[in-house]
Amino acid sequence: MVCTAGLPYEHNQDEEYGVDLDDLGDDHSLTRDPTALRIREAAALLDEDVWIAVRLPGGYEGADDLDDGVASARWTTVVTHPDELGWLREACSYTLTQRTRTTWNRCDPSAVQAAQRDRCPVRFEGGHILDSAYGTGQTWGVPTPVTDLLLPLLRASHDELAALAGRLRPADLSRASYAREWTVAQVYSHLGSGAEIGLAAVHAAFADGGPPDPQPIWARWNAKAPEAMASDFVEADDRYLATVEALDDATRERLRVPFHLDRVDLGTYLTLRLTEHTLHNWDVRVAFDPGATLAAPALPLLIAVLLAGVAQVSDRKTADRLAPAELVISTVEPDGRYLLTIDESVSLRLLEDGQAEPSRATGRLDLPTEALMRLVSGRLDPEHTPDRAVAAGRPTLDDLRVLFPGY
């Protein structure tokens, strides 16, 4: 798989043109660069090898005179995209699409030229991206199957919470949820107000407007009675999902949704919503079922979020206390092997099949994948830890609970 400007391509180049990233050493920029790590983790999930090229074969503005047959031999430091998560997601999702909708799967010059012209307008010069979809207001034009994957998952979570809401009595709605200081009704309120904010942001995207002000929306939802919090969630969340589900493919591709001070593609926006929805869905269900687990179908997409954002949800003071440490994490359902590194920062990366565990590893942790997601999001206290979670060495499971206080 060749990842260039967010598009993956299989290559048919000789091995002499490539570099085995595993041979570069731990201090090499391509080994440590966060974008390179995420591409490699995505490739491993897809059971692919990865090449990182600075340009595609074929002619385009800024191209040099390198023969098409060796274009993929050109290497450079990874260009860090302003929206690394969205950039990686589009690369991953495009590969998934190619497995079911084959249009090209080789670095054939004519196919790649068509791909650049019709699917990914990017301008290069001297091996660097001068501008691209995110920098110029253009659209990638890349199919966004990630949205097609996200919407059924969001709909399933909605349906589950809606069905539960219809069965809850007033006393149930006043019961404490797992979310700190929130009742079950208040979790419904949070998701309902989030749906209203999300719908307003989608409408703003069509008008090239800014993000909606959440304060009056939150205030209105906070003032609702508990029964209305739950019932109004069902209506607001359904309206939000129905609006996005009704968008055609071209609109989904081009839409850039205002988010804080930035604009993000629809897939990124919905991935954030899926993370929130899945975790808070569990916050509600576990109040009535102590053995509840996160929705299994959502885990593959949530893992990508976990790999990208583990540093942002860790506690810096705890990390300083635990450093240096390297924890090998083995998961099941789905299977995976990860390395949690705690030093100047906190990072989590996927260990590829057959890749040896680092000799300097300080501990091990075995657990289901959904339990790992709950651990990092502050939802794996001892009472909700599965028996299959087994830790040895350091950091201990209790250390990790402090390292990841939750959100």
Domain residue spans of the chain: 2-136, 145-292, 311-403
312: its two tokens? 């942002």
Give the Cα separation of 91 and 1 in Å (integer). Answer: 10
Please tell me the predicted confidence (pLDDT) of residue 274: 96
Beta strand extents in 209-259 (DSSP E only): 256-259
- What torsion do the CA atoms of 154, 155, 160, 164 make, to the nearest 10 degrees? 100
Report in angstroms the alpha-carbon separations of 67 from 58, 108, 203. Answer: 9, 12, 46
Q: Are 58 and 113 in contact (CB under 8 A)?
A: yes
Q: Are 154 and 277 in contact (CB under 8 A)?
A: yes
Q: Are 375 and 277 in contact (CB under 8 A)?
A: no
Indicate whether this model's pTM tops 0.75: no
DSSP bridge pairs for 258: 263
The one-letter amino acid code at 359 reads S
Please tell me the predicted confidence (pLDDT) of residue 230: 98
Element (H, E) at 165: helix 145-167
Q: Are 42 and 6 in contact (CB under 8 A)?
A: no
How many CA atoms does the CB half-sphere of 169 hold within 13 Å?
A: 2
Give the Cα separation of 243 and 148 in Å (integer). Answer: 14
The one-letter amino acid code at 395 reads P
- The three-state DSSP-derived secondary structure of 298-348 is HHHHHHHHHHHHHHHHCCHHHHHHHCCEEEEEEEECCCEEEEEEECCCEEE
From the list 169, 190, 186, the residue with the least C-alpha distance to 177 is: 186
Please tell me the predicted confidence (pLDDT) of residue 359: 85
3-class secondary structure, 349: strand
Please tell me the predicted confidence (pLDDT) of residue 102: 24
Give the Cα separation of 22 and 355 in Å (integer). Answer: 9
CATH 1.20.1260.10 is right for the domain spanning 145-292: no
Give the Cα separation of 377 and 348 in Å (integer). Answer: 14
Q: Are 161 and 288 in contact (CB under 8 A)?
A: no
DSSP bridge pairs for 295: none
Give the Cα separation of 256 and 204 in Å (integer). Answer: 9
Q: Which backbone phi and psi does 337 adopt, to 5 degrees?
A: -130, 130
Give the Cα separation of 14 and 257 in Å (integer). Answer: 42
Please tell me the predicted confidence (pLDDT) of residue 162: 97
Please tell me the predicted confidence (pLDDT) of residue 5: 38
How many CA atoms does the CB half-sphere of 215 hold within 13 Å?
A: 1
Give the Cα separation of 322 and 31 in Å (integer). Answer: 23
Q: Which sign does the torsion angle of CA 68, 73, 78, 84 carry?
A: positive
Give the Cα separation of 198 and 204 in Å (integer). Answer: 10
Mean pLDDT, each 10-residue run in order, the chain (407 residues): 41 53 64 63 63 46 48 34 38 34 27 30 26 26 60 96 97 96 97 98 95 96 98 98 94 92 90 96 98 94 85 94 96 93 92 82 97 97 96 97 94
Please tell me the predicted confidence (pLDDT) of residue 146: 77
Please tell me the predicted confidence (pLDDT) of residue 339: 95
Report in angstroms the alpha-carbon separations of 368 from 63, 249, 329, 334. Answer: 47, 35, 10, 8
Spell out the alpha helix ranges (H) of 13-144: 29-32, 34-45, 84-100, 109-118, 133-136
DSSP bridge pairs for 3: 8, 52
Give the Cα separation of 243 and 131 in Å (integer). Answer: 31
Record: fold of 311-403: Nonspecific Lipid-transfer Protein; Chain A (3.30.1050)
